Amino acid sequence: MTKKCLEGMIKGMKSTLIKTSAAMLSLGILSNVNVTDTAYASSKDDQLFHYPEGKIVNVAHRGASGHAPEHTMFSYELGEKLNGDYIEIDLQMTADDTLIAMHDETVDRTTDGSGSVEGMTLEEIKQLDAGAWFNAENPDKARDEYVGIEVPTLEEVFQNFGTDAYYYIETKSPDINPGMEEELLRLIDEYDVGNEVIIQSFSSDSLELIHSKDSSIPLVQLLGQPELGEGTHEELEEIKEYAIGVGPSFNNINGSYVQTVREYGLHIHPYTVNNKDDMRTAIEWGVTGLFTDFPDRFHEVITEFQSASYIKELVERFDEEGLFEDDEVVHALNMHLTAVNHYENQEEADKVVQHMGGFHDLLDHQRDNELISDNAYDSLKASADNLIQKWG
């Protein structure tokens, strides 16, 4: 889902409108997940993170790199078109201190050249072909336009997408690229994209340096081999001091680890998950997002989990926590959700959309009368909109 889609309004049918109070809500994803184990972000994290607590974020890994040459404008644009919430950008620094989008420390794998990025000038790197290799390795996805495309600079990416996209940026090899963090922050400030950026790194030193210079930017600690068992708590305590989340290798975690991360109020975005069964497993564990080369594939999996029954579990939980003004509020919301659940079982799509429209109108009423927080409204609206999208 692109930023523009997230900001769009889906208007439903008019129905009885009553009051609700402000609540911290999440996107409806799964009816059999223990809700109390999956909604733990602090208010500080809510302010830093770009999406309502509970939304499963879809990170287009190196762009939609399963469909187009990684770290090119083509892959980034395709990542947005295929419902990626973020375009992920790995950074390397050239000999003349320019930040470019490239995963490896050398240009060998993804261009027709050879040599280390730090040993080449931007002009030299701009002479390289960054797309022909993809055509050779993926003949079924080959396109003539990929031949001869350039390696983009971070500045060019910002110029192209501006504030209409969300960026998930990694400082790669900061130990051999001194000054990388300062240049990254300079560009973020120049292009006014501070509200659209998450920065990640395997280097805690790099993240802590960024945090010391600008604590408003959300940070994620990458973990190739996260500590499991007793060591988990000490590691997460340290990470929580400067980051809002962790990005572990999916192959090295389990459901227990995910739940522990959530209990610490941290987001968890494992990498790199391309198989649908693994995507389903990750959601069942309670991840708050993941990295994938196929954002279209993950979007399909997320959509599978949209259901009225999950939203109803959330409403019931918020009622128990005293987040609604009176019982009539809960009754009215549950009336819509009960009907939707029935029509989902009957596969009557028009009725599902109709009753979710009524649910949506209740939310609009609360917003218009300033009876619900912005974050709670956005969260519930995302739940309603996604269910409408599923059945509409």
Residues of the chain with CATH 3.20.20.190: 57-104+152-303
pLDDT for 319 equals 74
Cα separation, 246 vs 226, whole angstroms: 9
> Mind listing the pLDDT tens digit for each residue in 263-277?
999 999 999 999 999
**pLDDT for 368:** 83
Contacts of 234 (CB under 8 A, 6+ apart): 227
Give which of 144, 155, 37 is closest to 91, Cα–Cα. 155
What's the distance, CA 114 to chain centroid? 33
Helix (H), strand (E), coil (C) string for the chain: CCHHHHHCCCCCCCCCCCCCCCCCCCCCCCCCCCHHHCCCCCHHHHHHCCCCCCCCEEEECCCCCCCCCCCCHHHHHHHHHCCCCEEEEEEEECCCCCEEECCCCECCCCCCCCCEHHHCCHHHHHCCCCCHHHHHHCHHHCCHHHCCCCCCEHHHHHHHHHHHCCEEEEECCCCCCCCHHHHHHHHHHHCCCHHHEEEEECCHHHHHHHHHHCCCCCEEEEECCCCCCCHHHHHHHHHHCCCCEEEEEHHHCCHHHHHHHHHCCCEECCECCCCHHHHHHHHHHCCCEEEECCHHHHHHHHHHCCCHHHHHHHHHHHHHCCCCCCHHHHHHHHHHHHHHHHHHHCCCHHHHHHHHHHHHHHHHHHHHCCCCCHHHHHHHHHHHHHHHHHHC
Q: How many CA atoms lie within 13 A of 203 on its CB side?
A: 18
Q: Identify which of 33, 2, 6 has the alpha carbon closest to the alpha carbon of residue 283.
A: 33
- C-alpha angle 323-256-59 in degrees, rounded to nearest 5: 75
Distance (Å, rounded) from C-alpha 63 to C-alpha 252?
23
Residues of the chain where predicted confidence (pLDDT) is lower than 50: 1, 4-46
pLDDT at 28: 33
pTM of the model: 0.80
Q: Which residues 6+ apart lie within 8 Å of 368 measured at CB?
A: none
Active-site annotation holds for 67: no
Conformation bin of residue 292: beta by default, left when phi > 0, alpha when psi is -120 to 50: beta
216-to-178, 247, 267, 298, 333 alpha-carbon distances in Å: 22, 19, 16, 29, 36
Cα three-residue angle 147-148-154, rounded to 5 degrees: 115
- Asked if residues 341 and 309 have their Cβ atoms less than 8 Å apart, the reply is yes
User: Is 103 noted as a catalytic residue in this protein?
Assistant: yes
CB atoms near residue 306 (< 10 Å) = 22
Spatial CB neighbours of 277, under 8 Å, sequence gap ≥ 6: none
**CATH number of the domain at 57-104+152-303, please?**
3.20.20.190
- Whether the CB-CB separation of 298 and 23 falls below 8 Å is answered with no
Residue 334, Ramachandran bin (φ over 0: left; ψ between -120 and 50: alpha; else beta): alpha
Kindly name the residue from 61, 299, 336, 355 that is annotated as catalytic: 61
Q: Which of 103, 269, 355, 365 is catalytic?
A: 103
